[in-house]
A = this chain, B = another copy of it.
Amino acid sequence: MISEREYVAAHAGQLREDLDAWLRIPSISADPAHAADVRLNAEWLAEAFRRTGFPTVEVWDTPGAPAVFAEWRSQGNGGADAAPSVLVYGHHDVQPVDPEELWVTPPFVPTVRGDELFARGAADDKGQVLFHLLGVRAHLAATGRTSPAVTLRFLIEGEEESGSPHLADLLRAQQGRLRSDVIVVSDTAMFGRDVPSTCTGMRGLVDCQVDFHGPDVDLHSGLFGGAVPNPATALSRLVGALHDDAGRVQVPGFYDAVLPLTDAERTSFESLPFDEADWLAGTARSRAAAGEAGYSTLERIWARPTAEVNGMWGGYTGPGAKTIVPTDAHVKLSFRLVPDQDRKAIRDGVERFVAAHTPAGISAAVHWESDGVAPCRTPLDTPALQALVRALERTFERDVRYSRGGGSGPEADLAEILDAPLVFLGVSLPDDHIHAPNERVSLPMLHKGAEAAAYLWTELAGT
């Protein structure tokens, strides 16, 4: 009998061939000129699922790009219905490539240098979809089974890089076929090459634009200044009051539903080898950390809600001076949410805050940009999460750490609409340059992803 690890090592060439073929298809969902490529990309993946042995494979159309659905029911586990079911989520579309001139090798010509495979989509997310095909085969070979130990479903959407505009509708329409006991998301990174970790929650989002209107015409600041309401001053006062001096958001009720970190979560975050100075000089490109008093940088990003100004404007913004009291001022605000903050409650609080900070003579409007995104969280004692941790420990032979994500895609919709716990099996790395030139993936990490997936199906089946 071959082990999962041995199978993955012996068949790594197949994964390499699959990557070489699939990464050549420029499945850029944001660019309408690539719509046919995105469809071809979906068809390629459907065929790969079929080759792997999935009995049911379908390409699901949406009003946008197609998604791929695949299912392999577990047999002989005391009857199909007795085996747990798992839905794996990923996406087959990729980011645009510009500026293309910064790529060392062309984005759609997969190229190996050392242990790294360079191509758009290598890490985000084609590599992380494809390691599952190798993982399923390893699982079957190592267990001697002819079907997986759990009923496996895959939903690989085609619009994640465009904000998943049709995913929630698709989940609702197909929930009868998608609903599973566990959702496995494979679209995240580990903390580091030698620091196996898994995401246990993601922040949500609500975002709005606030418009302040004052005088009906721009007024001469000499003839009127000091005697009429200035909407730019008033809006600055509102934004200036959003945080207290300790960095706490002053929206009424903002923290009421926030779950504090458990000791275990806090301890796990603290155990991560995070170098704040490197982070500031590196990806954060900033000269100082900032934020809510009493929390570390990782806690601030992962586990604390925020209020950020994304943009603001009003009055004269050209060269030189124009001494006016302007008619209007605007600010775009986004609020990152953490469990169990409720989008509606936060929106209501923001509207009350705006009303309370709108002075006489100013008319205010609040426009919410979207439905927003709910926050999500998987408690550390969730059985599926502990199964994942065991699978990762077997793979990496190291302790597994817990992380979270500061922003989120459609993960919360998956958990909410399909009503199942989320776990995150992702093996990309923070320096994989996703969304940037020279995106790459570590081939050894993909192999570990396949091995961990093979173990995970066994662990989830409780065998």
Q: List residues of chain A with CB under 8 Å of any chain B CB.
A: 203, 205, 207, 214-217, 219-230, 232-233, 235-243, 280, 283-292, 297, 300-301, 304-317, 320-326, 329-332, 334, 336, 359-361, 363, 369-370, 405-408
**Bound-complex Cα distance A363 to B280 (A):** 15
Main secondary structure of the interface of A (DSSP, over half): loop
> Other CB < 8 Å A-B pairs besides A227-B291, A236-B309, A310-B323, 18 of them?
A214-B286, A215-B284, A219-B286, A224-B406, A228-B280, A228-B289, A233-B239, A236-B238, A236-B312, A286-B361, A287-B361, A288-B361, A308-B325, A310-B316, A310-B324, A311-B326, A321-B332, A321-B370
The 5 closest A-B pairs by CB, nearest first: A222-B407, A240-B240, A288-B361, A311-B315, A236-B239
Q: CB-CB < 8 A to A226: which residues of B?
A: 291-292, 300-301, 304-306, 308, 336, 406
**Bound-complex Cα distance A238 to B205 (A):** 26
Q: List 13 A-B contacts (CB under 8 A).
A: A207-B321, A215-B284, A226-B308, A229-B288, A230-B290, A236-B238, A287-B361, A308-B323, A309-B329, A311-B316, A311-B317, A312-B329, A322-B332
**Bound-complex Cα distance A228 to B408 (A):** 19
**Bound-complex Cα distance A304 to B225 (A):** 10
Q: CB-CB < 8 A to A315: which residues of B?
A: 309-312, 332
A313 and B309 contact, CB distance less than 8 A = no
**Bound-complex Cα distance A381 to B23 (A):** 87
Q: CB-CB < 8 A to A307: which residues of B?
A: 233
**Bound-complex Cα distance A336 to B226 (A):** 9
A321 and B369 contact, CB distance less than 8 A = yes
CB-CB nearest in chain B for A303: B226
Looking at the assembled complex, report how far the CB atom of A163 sits from the nearest CB atom of chain B, in whole angstroms.
10
Q: CB-CB < 8 A to A283: which residues of B?
A: 223-224
Q: CB-CB < 8 A to A236: which residues of B?
A: 235-236, 238-240, 242, 309, 312, 331
